[in-house]
Amino acid sequence: MHNRLIAALLCPLAVCAQEGWWMAEPIRWVQTNLRQVDATLDAARHAQQLADMRANVCLMGMGGIAAYYPTTTEFHYASPQLPPGRDMFGDFLREAHARKIRVVGRYDLSKTRKEVFDAHPEWFFRQRNGEPVIYNGLYSTCINGGYYRTQAMKILAEGLDKYDVDGLFFNMFGNQARDYSGRYVGLCHCDNCRRLYRQQFGKEIPESPDDDYRKFMFTSSREVAAAIGALIREKRPRAGYFNYIQEHTDGIMSESNTAIARPLPLWPYSASDRVNRARNSQPAKMSVNLNMQFVDYWWRFATVPAGEIALRSWQNISHGGALTFEVNGTLDQQDRQALETAKPVFRWVAEHEQFYAGQSSAARVLLLGSPAGTGRTYSEEPYRGAFRLLSEEHIPFAVSDNLDWLGKRAFDLVVATEWAPAELRRYVEDGGNLLLLSAAPPAFELAPVVRTTPDLRGYIRVRDHAAFPSLRDAGLLLLTGPFTELSASPGAPLTLIPPSLFGPPEFVHIDMKDTSTPAIVTRQLGKGSVTWLPWNLASMYQRLSLPAHAALFRDLVRTLHPRRQLETNAHPLVEMSLMRQKGHTLLHLINLSGHSQTAYFAPVPMTGVEVRVEGAFTSARAQRTPARLPIKRAAGYSTFTVPSLSDYELIALE
């Protein structure tokens, strides 16, 4: 085991990921989060329900908190409702495979029974006061304890020896600082964690997570993840390994979900964001973004709006991920709205499955995300603002949380918000263009910084309207938030107007003063260029959606990326993704017009969507509303019109 662990830890991410069925086949993935009482499930009926829906992968309970088979491993317990002599999981595996449905077994190793705690208290999470974490009678285990490090491997080995599963998934992996009710339990202070933390950092575990502690937990969880991956490879080399972490796994799991206390506004691009980011950060891995049907933990059987289920479904597959749907319990739901929404989507995608395997992004614009494992935290607001701006401008873009694409994939333009690492200089010098929208300077020398004001409430002066034609009616742009002052530049096309009087009305801005402080800097570096707005335009757009901020962004991109891949008259709430697949170029159109504040309604049908896409294509076929679309070709572009768009359309270009 030790040698396998070392090998897995040294294995690069791209090498660790297998080219298994999850990368070669179209995936229509249903998760049934079984309860203990579902151990009496009629396996044949459940498999047939999935087959009727045209699902071809089922993620279902296997072991951990409760086993759905007669386990003989010490400290592992079958569900109390599992009938004597019954092997429900084995029965379902047989019935599913007979219908060509792959089965991914679900384990949750984060909690177990009191009997295990009484026998091995050293395996468990300890709060700062030494007390264990108990939730509904279950005791939380520690990622650095013997349960995860040794006992879990025995549990998994039994399941892998008994069943020819197609994959394994692990829920709630690692030490959770909050329980299901949201109660803060803090950081683990068990003897193992305290000893290891002192060895690594020379100090005691802090009161709340800091950068060092986040690195500690990252390393601890990845060590266990590597050991689990090695065990799966040894016993079931064709099985996929899935988890909510990215390292040492074959697929990147995530969720599009809701919660009643979640800060507003809602994020209607949830599925697109997760899948785009996963598929382009680690293209050797499949993105499985679970489409969660329930409203919140307290109401697992109350469903989110049908429009939200459908929107997430189309977004998942439009960016090259798996089509997914999740329910708690079985498919015999008391509230069937979400299930009945998902069924026709699954069936339609099954009928057109030739388009939903082997997709990869064709975008030549990259949005830089936030790197994982650094111990740092990043704000979602600027990233989401840039995501919206690109989507609403119909600019095909990929998202990456790393720089693995450097030297491997050509991008005409990179957009960065909070994270502009030094390695980007090489990208620019080799001919790339970088647009930095952040008060935080890049990690390479660009312009002398005077100071950063953390919250400056003023304006941006538009001095050169010829450079920004979309701002012909706007001489001022709102500025709020951090601003980095650079050395004065008399010729800057955008400059700072500092705060001035704003009340009473008789005094409003009577002391307003223009400055020569630049609000934009452009520098040539080698064969490429960097344009830096030293203020958070994307954050402001996410918060306020001001047209002037969008107009400035539009003009900046037009200058840096003059030959657009795609032009259209589509409404800003028509999301478009441009993908490659075998001999096709695929254009996905998703109608987001049904989203309003906290509601998801049926989208407003649209007609006459004109599209001009780069490339000399001879055929354009609409799949959702079947039609061959006439094409005109000129100047390296192909132009066609999508006659109607309801919720989703797929155009196959050849």
pLDDT tens digits along 131-165: 999 999 999 999 999 999 999 999 999 999 999 99
Q: Please tell me the predicted confidence (pLDDT) of residue 376.
A: 66
Q: For tokens 């001999």, name the residue.
A: 583
CA 435/CA 546 separation, integer angstroms: 19
Residue 427 scores a pLDDT above 50: yes
Which residue is listed with tokens 């028509």?
574
Secondary structure string (H, E, C) spanning 449-478: EEEEECCCCEEEEECCCCCCHHHCCCCEEE
- 3: pLDDT strictly greater than 50: no
Q: Which residues contact 193 (CB under 8 A, 6 or more apart)?
A: 126, 142, 144, 187, 205
374 pLDDT band (50/70/90 cuts)? Answer: low
What is the DSSP track for 104-133? EEEEE-SEE-HHHHHH-GGGB-B-TTSPBP
pLDDT band, very low/low/confident/very high, at 489 (cuts 50, 70, 90): confident
Residues 6+ apart with CB under 8 A from 285: 17, 23, 246, 249, 250, 251, 252, 278, 279
Q: For the chain, which residues make up each domain, given as ranges?
A: 2-355, 363-564, 567-653
pLDDT of residue 246: 86
Residue 429's alpha-carbon distances to 270, 408, 433, 451, 650, in angstroms, are: 34, 15, 9, 27, 37
The answer to whether 164 and 93 have CB atoms below 8 angstroms apart is yes
Instruction: Round to whole Å and give the CA distance between 173 and 183.
Output: 18
pLDDT of residue 10: 39
- Of 374-388, 515-529, 551-565, the least confident: 374-388
Superfamily classification of domain 363-564: Class I glutamine amidotransferase (GATase) domain (3.40.50.880)
Structure confidence at residue 18 (pLDDT): 72
Q: What is the pLDDT of residue 456?
A: 97
- State pLDDT tens for residues 59-103: 999 999 999 999 999 999 999 999 999 999 999 999 999 999 999
On the question of a common fold for 2-355 and 363-564, the answer reads no
Percent of the chain at pLDDT > 70 equals: 96
Given this model, what pLDDT does residue 2 score? 36
Fold entry, domain 567-653: Immunoglobulin-like (2.60.40)
Q: Return the structure tokens found at 631.
A: 């094409």
Average pLDDT, rounded, for the chain: 94
Residue 300 CA neighbour count, 13 Å, CB half: 11
Question: What is the tens place of the pLDDT at every residue in 181-199?
Answer: 999 999 999 999 999 999 9
pLDDT digits (tens, 9 = 90+) for 6-64: 333 334 443 356 789 999 999 999 999 999 999 999 999 999 999 999 999 999 999 99
Q: Which CATH number does the domain 2-355 belong to among 3.40.630.30, 3.20.20.80, 3.40.91.50, 2.40.50.140?
A: 3.20.20.80
Q: C-alpha distances in angstroms, 209 versus 71, 174, 176, 186, 188?
A: 37, 14, 12, 9, 11
What is the per-residue pLDDT for 540? 98
Residue range 307-355, pLDDT digits in tens: 999 999 999 999 999 999 999 999 999 999 999 999 999 999 999 999 9
Q: Compute the residue count for the chain.
A: 654
